[in-house]
Amino acid sequence: MNFLIILLCIILIAVIIVQIGKVSELASSIRGEEAAERDSNNWSARLLLAFLPIFLIGCIASAIYYYPYMLGYGPHESASVHGLELDHLFNITLVVTGIVFILTHIALFWFSYKYAAKEGQKAAFISHDNTLEIVWTVVPAITMAYLVINGLIVWNNTMADVDPGEDIVEVEAVASQFLWELRHPGKDKVLGARDYKLINALNPLGQDWRDEKNIDDFIMDTLFLPVDKKVRVRITAKDVLHNFYLPHFRVKMDAVPGIPTYFVFTPDKTTEEYRQGLKEYGGMWLEPADPEEPDGPRRWETFEYELACAELCGRGHYSMHKFVRVVPQEEYEAWLNRVEQTSYYLNNVRGKKNDPHKGKQLDIEKRFYEIEAAAAEEVAAPPVTQEPTTQEATAVEVVKDSVVVIENAH
Amino acid sequence: MAAVKYTEEEELLILEEGHDPHFHDHHHGDDKYRMSFISHYIFSMDHKMIAKQFLVTGMFWGIMGGLMSLVFRLQLGFPEESLAWLKPVLGKWITISETGVGSLDPEFYYALVTIHGTVIVFFVLTAGLSGTFSNLLIPLQCGARDMASPFLNMLSYWFFFLAGVVMFASLFLSTGPFSGGWTAYPPLSALPQAMSGSGAGMTLWAVSIILFVVSVLLGGVNYITTVLNMRTKGMSMFRLPLTIWAFFITAIIGLLSFPVLFSGVLLLIFDRAIGTSFYLSDIYIGGQALDYVGGSPILYQHLFWFLGHPEVYIIILPAMGIVSEVLSVNSRKPIFGYKAMVYSIAAIAFLSFIVWAHHMFMSGVNPFISNFFVLFTLIIAVPSAVKVFNWISTLYKGNIRFTNAMLFAIGFVSMFISGGLTGIFLGNSAIDIQLHDTYFVVAHFHIVMGVAAFFGMFSGVYHWYPKMFGRFMNPVLGKIHFWVTMIGAYAIFWPMHYTGMAGVPRRYYRFDSFEAFSYFGEINQFITIAAVVVFAAQVLFIINFFYSIWNGKKQTTVNPWGATTLEWTTPIEPGHGNWPGAIPVVHRWAYDYGKDGRDFIPQTEPLGENESESH
Ligand code: HEM
Ligand SMILES: [Cu+2]
Ligand SMILES: [Cu+2]
């Protein structure tokens, strides 16, 4: 019904407009074509002139209105070292292009108005001007050279791989339709080997258990990173292209099946620091996070860094969502100690038929017993309360699920 | 304005008898080109009719593409509103939730985005723009009776038509049309299990693209041959109007780049159909590890963008040519820096072949390689800037007539500036880390390619409408069309820069799964409303177009715009063969406007005694 009404309205409007067209033609033939044409020409000239300030003011005003969301402005600060350089480069480009944008638009619309046809006016015969043309070839060329040089410096700094032996955190992001699996190398700091042919329900990443480096690797649901330390993300995909995208860190790289890629960056603000920044910024960040709960936590308190997918990968592309948490170094190490035991191998393969290390005493187990012993001693003392983090909860779930699968398999 | 070449008496004769009595003796206009209804309107070999066929087919696809964008914009702008009213049209692609809210199926959303992009890029802005105006103007402005091979020309249209039929058929598949983006990156496009649109939908998409490539190649060979070999006496290359230069170089780019797309798609078909591994390796999908090893999805991207980037210039160069011509004619001034314009077209064409990997900075290619592509990409901004400055200088000290064509030409320059400048951000790979695959890119290419090329096309249609139909389009409706489109297009695409800078990715069906992307509900509604308004203005254009074919104001003089070029020396409704008599001879370049105190001097007028030819 609504649809019909809308359709009727549209038809009506179309008819009216066509009538306007006809009437205008009639009017012009009554008034004399030339007079009508001159009139319409003047009108067009005025409208073009009016468009100029409205357009430019609109552009600038909207930019001011939205600047809190823009790259590097307001609370939208970069949370990584290279990100600051990148934002700076963005600003340089913004200034250069902004000037060109305004000047050329003023010239375009002002000339249109100024040189609109008038009675008795003759156009000048100007076919070219070599000096002028050389100037406006050379000036853009120099400007571009300036931008290229700046850009390439930032680019090569950003994309430089780590040096062998450098102390870094290596993690792996594995994309598949439609989720991210985040693998941490554990205490040995090295990721174990994988083979896509080994992937199955019991081995979601296809880890090769013969490789001892896999023993302490664990899969996380939130990417945990220490602040101010170089992170090298190894990025891979199981099925189709995806893209590892961390908007707050200015990180983006395709995940390609068969061709691992990487991105090296250094987070320089912990989640907590970023939250404080948002709080100081104020505005909407002081509003309640959940409008239904006016007394609940504020927006800035619930802020988390996010991981998204930025390469179309199928129907669920828009929902490949994970969090990133950046914490101080000490907290990071404490966390590492706690979650080491969620090692996928330890919980799902150890002692099973397919365990290649059967009967061997593993380092990780030794550490595990030490921790257990220490815990037994401290049994009387109150536990150091640390908020349970999401990834632990899920890690446990993964374990449970897998156990179920194992039981079914038997 | 009276044409110079004919006296009034002669003109009357031409109008009534359709031929030029001066050349009565050796006219070979009629017999060779006499036609029946079918050979006149359907399997026509007359370049002018083929041009109209390209135009009308392009318009059809323009409406289709526009409607698709409205549907997915409604979903993006108003995700909570019910789209159940579309159920009668879209059927199962509208899913109704328990609360009765109908929304677009995500997969169909992606299908709409994909087909929208494909048909607008290829069918509307390549075939509809270059196909229409190259066909119409190359013989007319070069002074030829038709294309070098009218038959290949006809085939070119029919291959395009077939490509359209296949694409259209894919809309009705039960698994849906292809939905992996207009760039069709494998493995998503190679594996039917990855997405339902990657099944039969992708097969038809690939077939359609291959038919389309054939069409472009047949057309291109013809355009190039005609420009090189069939110019009339006196028409040296540097006397050609810029339109012809643009079409000519466009055709060359097309000839060099489309075959690469052809091979890229062919290999994709092999991967899909006979199990080769050109693009596939190490894939685990749907609970199964596939056998493909050793292929590279990045290879496809190289092949695609080796066409893809030149393709954007295939789209924009003809628009640039049209705009150059229209600006000059309506400023009553020569185009400023004719030779610089020609050289910058050539420079852009050359550079367009060595910048393709700027679409792939984040795709996993070696970051070192990107250094070169950044350099070449930003160099392209230089000839682009030269063109802009020359257009603006053409207006300077002119005596400007704001026809609808002129308004759209001015709008084109504005759009090209706005969109070209954002290219400078994206071309710098470091900034592109953040902006790649965000709405910033969407804003960039819609303004610089989408809107600007449409403006060039509108400009051409309004300007050469009399040549096609012997009538004028209604100027008042045209002005409404212009202003609504100009303001509306900026209203749609300008705000996308802001969402892009905030990092919102493109090709997202919803934005609320991420906190960082969820703040733009308002902008998205605004954009959707603007899109509906702009679409309405295009409907107005279509009404004006068809209404004027039969009811528009009649053209009464052969040269209504007072232009120097040859197409305006033909009769008002030229028959097949264009000139009833001999083909006119050319004596000067195409831009003698305002020279020696005369409003304009046609190319057919010999140079005066002491006159020197000016460039
Ligand atoms: C100053 C000149 C230009 C520069 C430096 C430039 C640069 C770029 C870059 C680097 C990208 C890739 C962005 C990304 O995906 O991250 C891009 C995308 C694009 N550009 Fe331009 N561009 C320029 C002019 C043009 C022109 C004139 C057109 C068309 C007429 C155009 C059409 C496109 C299209 C269609 C895309 C996106 C394709 C896609 O990913 O779907 N660009 N441009
Ligand atoms: Cu994705
Ligand atoms: Cu490009």
CB contact under 8 Å between B536 and A10, yes or no, is yes
CA of B449 to the centre of ligand 1 (A): 8
B428, B518, B543, B588: best mutation site toward chain A, by most A Cβ within 10 Å?
B428
> B388: Cβ below 6 Å to ligand 1?
no
B108's CB contacts (< 8 A; 6+ apart) are B90, B93, B176, B179
Of all helices (H) and strands (E), which one includes residue A220?
A: strand A218-220
B392, B494, B543, B611: best mutation site toward chain A, by most A Cβ within 10 Å?
B392
Residue B181 has pLDDT above 80, yes or no: yes
Contact A339, A392 (CB under 8 A): yes
10 Å CB burial of residue A379 (0-12, 13-18, 19+) is: exposed
Residue A391 has pLDDT above 50, yes or no: no
Beta strands A305-309 and A242-246 are: antiparallel
A70, A90, A315: best mutation site toward chain B, by most B Cβ within 10 Å?
A315
**Three-class DSSP category at B525:** helix
A141's CB contacts (< 8 A; 6+ apart) are B379, B382
Chain B contact for A45, CB < 8 A? Answer: yes
Q: What is the pLDDT of residue A59?
A: 93
Residue nearest to atom 43 of ligand 1 (CA): B423
List strand residue ranges (DSSP E) for B34-99, in order. 94-96
Residue B394 has pLDDT above 50, yes or no: yes
Residue A399 has pLDDT above 50, yes or no: no
CA of B298 to the centre of ligand 3 (A): 16
A116: which DSSP letter? B
CA distance B13 to chain A (A): 25
Domain B355-551 has CATH 1.20.210.10: yes
- pTM reported for the whole predicted model: 0.90
Domain A169-379+386-409 has CATH 2.60.40.420: yes
CB contact under 8 Å between B414 and A108, yes or no, is yes
CA distance A317 to chain B (A): 7
User: Which protein residues have their CB within 5 A of the ion that is ligand 3?
Assistant: B 309
CA distance A256 to chain B (A): 7
Residue A230 has pLDDT above 90, yes or no: yes
What would the two tokens of residue A318 be?
Answer: 């828009």
10 Å CB burial of residue B169 (0-12, 13-18, 19+) is: middle
Chain B contact for A369, CB < 8 A? Answer: no
Q: What is the pLDDT of residue A71?
A: 66
From chain B, the residues in CB contact with A44 under 8 A are: 402, 407, 479
> B436: Cβ below 6 Å to ligand 1?
yes
CA of A110 to the centre of ligand 1 (A): 29
**Three-class DSSP category at A61:** helix
Backbone angles phi, psi at B273, to 5 degrees: -95, -35
Q: State the Cα–Cα distance between residues A162 and A264, nearest whole angstrom.
A: 7
B382, B432, B553, B554: best mutation site toward chain A, by most A Cβ within 10 Å?
B382
The model's confidence at residue B445, banded by pLDDT at 50, 70 and 90, is: very high
Backbone angles phi, psi at B65, to 5 degrees: -60, -40
Contact A306, A247 (CB under 8 A): yes
> B381: Cβ below 6 Å to ligand 1?
yes
The mean pLDDT value for B161-185 works out to 94
CB contact under 8 Å between A2 and B510, yes or no, is no
- Please write the tens of the pLDDT for every residue from A90-132: 999 999 999 999 999 999 999 999 999 888 888 888 888 888 8
Residue B19 has pLDDT above 50, yes or no: no
Count helices and strands (H / E) in chain B.
18, 6
Task: Please give the residue that has the higher pLDDT: either A29 or A140.
Answer: A140
Cβ-defined contacts of B94-97 (< 8 Å, 24+): none
Q: State the Cα–Cα distance between residues B345 and B313, nearest whole angstrom.
A: 10
B597's CB contacts (< 8 A; 6+ apart) are A122
Q: State the Cα–Cα distance between residues A157 and A88, nearest whole angstrom.
A: 14
Q: What is the pLDDT of residue B386?
A: 93
CB contact under 8 Å between A71 and B501, yes or no, is yes
Tally of CB atoms within 10 A around A234: 18
Q: What is the pLDDT of residue B8?
A: 57
Q: State the Cα–Cα distance between residues A367 and A180, nearest whole angstrom.
A: 29
Sheet holding A261-265, edge to edge: A218-220, A179-184, A169-176, A231-237, A261-265
> B500: Cβ below 6 Å to ligand 1?
no
The neighbouring-strand residues paired with A308 are: A245
Residue nearest to atom 41 of ligand 1 (CA): B183
Ligand nearest to C-alpha A309: 2
CA distance B289 to chain A (A): 6
Q: State the Cα–Cα distance between residues A261 and A212, nearest whole angstrom.
A: 23
- Please write the tens of the pLDDT for every residue from A32-42: 777 888 888 88
Contact B340, B390 (CB under 8 A): yes
Q: What is the pLDDT of residue B162?
A: 96
> B325: Cβ below 6 Å to ligand 1?
no
Residue B248 has pLDDT above 80, yes or no: yes
The model's confidence at residue A30, banded by pLDDT at 50, 70 and 90, is: confident
Question: Residues 340 to 359 of A: which have CB under 8 A from any B CB?
Answer: none
Chain B contact for A193, CB < 8 A? Answer: no
From chain A, the residues in CB contact with B336 under 8 A are: 126-129
- Least confident range from A199-213, B107-121, B413-427, B528-542: namely A199-213
A20-24, A360-364, B296-300, B511-515: range with highest mean pLDDT: B296-300
Q: What is the pLDDT of residue B7?
A: 55
A253: which DSSP letter? E
Tally of CB atoms within 10 A around A60: 12
- Least confident range from A63-72, B323-332, B582-591: namely A63-72
The mean pLDDT value of chain B amounts to 89
CA distance B7 to chain A (A): 22
Q: What is the pLDDT of residue A18?
A: 74
- Please write the tens of the pLDDT for every residue from B90-114: 888 888 888 888 888 999 999 999 9
Write the residue in B370, B396, B486 that is nearest to A155 by C-beta: B370
CB-side neighbour CA atoms (13 Å) of B578: 26
The mean pLDDT value for B484-493 works out to 95
The mean pLDDT value for B331-353 works out to 93
**Three-class DSSP category at B147:** coil
**Three-class DSSP category at B534:** helix
Tally of CB atoms within 10 A around B2: 12
Question: Residue B446, Cα to own-chain centre: how many angstroms?
Answer: 12
Nearest CA to B138 out of B48, B215, B61, B24 is that of: B48
CB contact under 8 Å between A319 and B513, yes or no, is yes
From chain B, the residues in CB contact with A251 under 8 A are: 433
What would the two tokens of residue A39 be?
Answer: 């009139």
The neighbouring-strand residues paired with A181 are: A174
Q: State the Cα–Cα distance between residues B499 and B492, nearest whole angstrom.
A: 12
Write the residue in B180, B298, B594 that is nearest to A312 by C-beta: B180
Q: State the Cα–Cα distance between residues A298 and A293, nearest whole angstrom.
A: 10
CB contact under 8 Å between A239 and B191, yes or no, is yes
Question: Residues 211 to 270 of A: which have CB under 8 A from any B CB?
Answer: 238-241, 243, 245, 247-248, 250-254, 256-259, 261
User: What percent of chain A shows pLDDT beyond 90?
Assistant: 44
Of all helices (H) and strands (E), which one includes residue A299?
A: helix A299-302
Task: Please give the residue that has the higher pLDDT: either A293 or B257.
Answer: B257
- Residue owning tokens 């053209």: B555
Q: What is the pLDDT of residue B453?
A: 96
Please report, as a single letter, which amino acid is at residue B96.
I
For residue B427, the ligand 1 atom closest to its alpha carbon is: 10
Q: State the Cα–Cα distance between residues A340 and B368, nearest whole angstrom.
A: 37
Please report, as a single letter, which amino acid is at residue B534.
V
Say what the alpha-carbon torsion angle A11, A17, A23, A28 is, to the nearest 10 degrees.
Answer: -150
How far from B514 is each of A69, A80, B18, B519, CA to CA, in Å?
15, 20, 67, 10
Write the residue in B281, B480, B591 that is nearest to A257 by C-beta: B281
> B129: Cβ below 6 Å to ligand 1?
no
B480's CB contacts (< 8 A; 6+ apart) are A17, B537, B540
- Least confident range from A350-359, B279-288, B493-502: namely A350-359
CA distance A344 to chain B (A): 20
Please report, as a single letter, which amino acid is at residue A403.
V
- Residue owning tokens 């075939």: B127
| Gyration radius (Cα) of chain A, Å | 32
The mean pLDDT value for B453-479 works out to 94
Contact B143, B586 (CB under 8 A): yes
- What letters, b where the CB count within 10 A reaches 16 and e where it falls short, cover A150-165? bbbebbeebbeeeeee
Write the residue in A69, A86, A159 that is nearest to B502 by C-beta: A69
What would the two tokens of residue B598 be?
Answer: 């005369």
Question: Residue B402, Cα to own-chain centre: how many angstroms?
Answer: 23
Q: What is the pLDDT of residue A21?
A: 75
Angle between helices B452-469 and B475-501 (to 10 degrees): 160
The verdict on whether omega for the bond into residue B238 sits within 30 degrees of 0, i.e. cis, is no
The mean pLDDT value for B519-535 works out to 92
Please report, as a single letter, which amino acid is at residue A116.
A
Mark residue A363 as left, alpha or beta (left: phi above 0; alpha: psi -120 to 50; beta: remaining).
alpha
> B377: Cβ below 6 Å to ligand 1?
yes
Write the residue in B284, B388, B479 that is nearest to A104 by C-beta: B388
A306: which DSSP letter? E
> B424: Cβ below 6 Å to ligand 1?
yes
For residue B181, the ligand 1 atom closest to its alpha carbon is: 41
The neighbouring-strand residues paired with A257 are: A237
